[in-house]
Amino acid sequence: MFPSTSFMIYFLHFTASPFSAYISPSSNRIYYKLMWRTSLLCSNSSEKTLEFNKSVATVQLIDDKTHVGKCALKCQTSSKFCFAFQVNVMNSAYAGRCNVFCYHFADMPDAIFRNLYDNCSLYLGAKPIYMNVSSWGFNDLNRNSPGSNAVEILWKDNYYSSVGTRGVFAYKLNMEDHTLYDSQYFAYYTITSDAARMKNYLQSAPNGTVVIGRTGDEPYSNIALVAAYLKSVNLDVSSLAYRGKWLFVWQQGAPEKTQSFIDSGKFVLSKQFLLCNIGCMMFPSCC
């Protein structure tokens, strides 16, 4: 699992689905509360604007949604584009009181982390997708652990490979119904032509298509056949080693958004991703 101080973020221009929401009474605009399983997610980003800071009696914080509602209202009525808002509750220097902070974000917040202290909450104006991707190598001590060879979309489904174990497994992501489709297995370790087939799978994907990739057992041998192409689309595998691990989230036509991770350690590689569509709030008809 990811440490409590970090969280992998991936931003996409597509629609997704909700988990928990706050509805602004004045506009019926839905803000989605970010959570990873049962843990709240918050942002330490410096790219935020303080909308208000008030001192309140501690007793007022118990089951009181007033502060969230006020922060949401300011977000949806702001003259500036407001994509997300966050409410932080901090201890006050005065006994029996707390300080409540309301922050606004004009873009997808970065520096997202798992909040273990339940003292802040982050809401997005677009529907998020939560995804856990794992990759394993033959020498991993926990290679047979649950989920080591899966792509998990939280609150939706787990996707395991039904064919083969050695090579690259790729899936396309349907951002509207949160499902993976067109799954492919590239066994170029023994079938060298599969390297070119993997290249074609990426090249032929329609513009905007999201591709999820993960590896099993041994992804290094013969990948050099397509390494130059992979590097050209921001999927650099030059550090991939024999029996190593590689996983990625990639969007056709937007290589700058690529999230790609390579590891040669002795344990399964797992990364968590948050995907959402900032354009959906700017152009609601896309939702």
In this prediction, residue 277 carries a pLDDT of: 67
Provide the token pair at 190: 């023994």
Asked whether residue 126 carries a pLDDT value surpassing 60, the answer given is yes
- Higher pLDDT pick, 5 / 61: 61
Domain final residue, candidates 126, 142, 177: 126
How much of the chain exceeds pLDDT 70, in percent?
84
236 lies in the same domain as 192: yes
Please indicate, yes or no, if residue 285 is contained in any of the structural domains: no
**Of 10-19, 143-152, 270-279, where does mean pLDDT reach its minimum?**
10-19
> Buried (b) or exposed (e) across 206-244, using 16+ Cβ within 10 A?
eeebbbbbbbbbbbbebbeebbebbeebebebeebeeeb
- Higher pLDDT pick, 176 / 99: 99
Asked whether residue 201 carries a pLDDT value surpassing 80, the answer given is yes
In this prediction, residue 4 carries a pLDDT of: 39
Please indicate, yes or no, if residue 4 is contained in any of the structural domains: no
- For the chain, how many structural domains are there in total? 2
209 lies in the same domain as 103: no
In this prediction, residue 80 carries a pLDDT of: 86
Q: Are 23 and 33 in contact (CB under 8 A)?
A: no
96 lies in the same domain as 210: no
Q: Are 206 and 252 in contact (CB under 8 A)?
A: yes
149 lies in the same domain as 115: no
In this prediction, residue 61 carries a pLDDT of: 63
175 lies in the same domain as 69: no
How much of the chain exceeds pLDDT 90, in percent?
56
What CATH number is attached to the domain comprising 81? 3.50.4
149 lies in the same domain as 36: no
Q: Are 136 and 217 in contact (CB under 8 A)?
A: yes
92 lies in the same domain as 226: no
In this prediction, residue 134 carries a pLDDT of: 96
Please indicate, yes or no, if residue 249 is contained in any of the structural domains: yes
Domain final residue, candidates 126, 150, 177: 126
In this prediction, residue 226 carries a pLDDT of: 98
114 lies in the same domain as 227: no
Please indicate, yes or no, if residue 282 is contained in any of the structural domains: no
Q: What is the pLDDT of residues 59-84, one digit of tens each?
A: 666 545 788 889 998 998 888 889 99
Classify strands 129-137 and 150-153 as parallel, antiparallel or unpaired: antiparallel
What distance in Å separates the CA atoms of residue 245 and residue 250, rounded to the nearest whole number? 17
In this prediction, residue 19 carries a pLDDT of: 37
Task: Read off the pLDDT of each residue in 31-51 and give the average, rounded to a whole number.
Answer: 92
121 lies in the same domain as 135: no
Considering the chain, what is the average pLDDT of its residues?
A: 85
Please indicate, yes or no, if residue 175 is contained in any of the structural domains: yes
Asked whether residue 14 carries a pLDDT value surpassing 50, the answer given is no
Asked whether residue 45 carries a pLDDT value surpassing 60, the answer given is yes
Q: What is the pLDDT of residues 175-199, one digit of tens each?
A: 888 899 999 999 999 999 999 999 9
Provide the token pair at 217: 């057992």
What distance in Å separates the CA atoms of residue 163 and residue 187, rounded to the nearest whole number? 10
Please indicate, yes or no, if residue 48 is contained in any of the structural domains: yes
Asked whether residue 5 carries a pLDDT value surpassing 50, the answer given is no
255 lies in the same domain as 136: yes
Provide the domain limits for residue 149.
Answer: 129-275
**Of 142-151, 153-162, 167-176, where does mean pLDDT reach its minimum?**
153-162
Please indicate, yes or no, if residue 177 is contained in any of the structural domains: yes
Residue 142 pLDDT class (50, 70, 90 cuts): very high
Domain final residue, candidates 69, 93, 126: 126
145 lies in the same domain as 239: yes
In this prediction, residue 65 carries a pLDDT of: 73
pTM listed for this prediction: 0.82
38 lies in the same domain as 152: no
Please indicate, yes or no, if residue 193 is contained in any of the structural domains: yes
Q: What is the pLDDT of residues 244-287, one digit of tens each?
A: 999 999 999 999 999 999 999 999 999 999 888 665 544 443 33
